[in-house]
Amino acid sequence: MDTVTKPVVVLFDVDETLIHTGGAGGRSWKAAFEKLYGIPADIGEHTSAGETDPSVARETFVGVMGRDPSDDELVRLYGQYLLHLADDIMVAEQYRVLPGAEETLVALGKAGVLLGLVSGAMEGAARTKLVRANLNRYFIFGAYGSDSPDRPELTRLAIEKAARLHGQLTPSQVFVVGDTPRDLEAARAANAVSVGVASGHYSVDELRAAGGDHVLESLEGTFPGL
């Protein structure tokens, strides 16, 4: 993009964009399946990076159980997952805040930017993952996988929430930050500015190929538009 408008709203993904959980999420899904069904399910065998929690739960359930889950079964699975995650996240040895993440949040806040979360994780999971790093304090609102299993839809919902707080927004004023092509595709579907960060499983080249308006190696340095 030739001219970069200063962002009015910036929406951040959580996993591999702001923090690395050290595998806490995968372990917690495995523990939930083990607790309820005696099967230590591996979500990595059935899902890929960037999927929403409801999709992860459903696809993994089908993969290991060979049938669709009932609504009640999904509710129990979500509950067991969150219970385990709350404990695991606090002791995960490889948990870390990713380079430049907190400094970027501070800089955006000082610039008067409205900060929100747009995460495929359920709200409880997204917020839990940020507790250890004390990053929840930067985010005024958010939209989550518990709002919709469809990433573009939950991104549009996050923008609608931002507009309720701020007032009318133009597409160039809303930046969506994430580490996967799914994040960038959702931003594009919502007519927002996409910012890819190569801090997860995808390289700078892969995120550029996915159509990121801006692609960063990390959140270190100056954020686009500031």
> Residue 50's pLDDT band (boundaries 50, 70, 90)?
low
Residue-wise pLDDT tens digits, 187-201:
999 999 999 999 999
CB 19 within 8 A of CB 117: no
Quick one: pLDDT at residue 132? Answer: 97
Quick one: pLDDT at residue 2? Answer: 53
> Residue 1's pLDDT band (boundaries 50, 70, 90)?
very low
Quick one: pLDDT at residue 41? Answer: 87
Strands ordered across the beta sheet of 193-197:
141-144, 114-119, 9-12, 174-178, 193-197, 214-216
Quick check: 22 pLDDT over 90? Answer: yes
Cα distances (angstroms) measured from residue 121 to each of 38, 171, 215: 24, 24, 23
User: Stretch 148-173: mean pLDDT, rounded?
Assistant: 94
Of 14-18, 44-48, 110-114, 181-185, which range is least confident?
A: 44-48
Quick check: 129 pLDDT over 60? Answer: yes
Quick check: 49 pLDDT over 70? Answer: no
User: Stretch 2-31: mean pLDDT, rounded?
Assistant: 92
Cα distances (angstroms) measured from residue 31 to each of 49, 126, 127, 159: 19, 18, 20, 34
> Residue 104's pLDDT band (boundaries 50, 70, 90)?
very high
Which residues pair with residue 2 across a beta bridge?
none
Quick one: pLDDT at residue 42? Answer: 84
What does pLDDT average to over the chain? 94
End-to-end Cα separation, the chain, in angstroms: 15
Residue-wise pLDDT tens digits, 57-76:
999 999 999 999 999 999 99
> Residue 174's pLDDT band (boundaries 50, 70, 90)?
very high
Strand pairing report for 114-119 and 141-144: parallel
> Residue 8's pLDDT band (boundaries 50, 70, 90)?
very high
> Residue 52's pLDDT band (boundaries 50, 70, 90)?
confident
Minimal CA–CA distance to 195: which of 130, 54, 77, 100?
Answer: 100
User: Stretch 147-153: mean pLDDT, rounded?
Assistant: 91
User: Stretch 103-114: mean pLDDT, rounded?
Assistant: 98
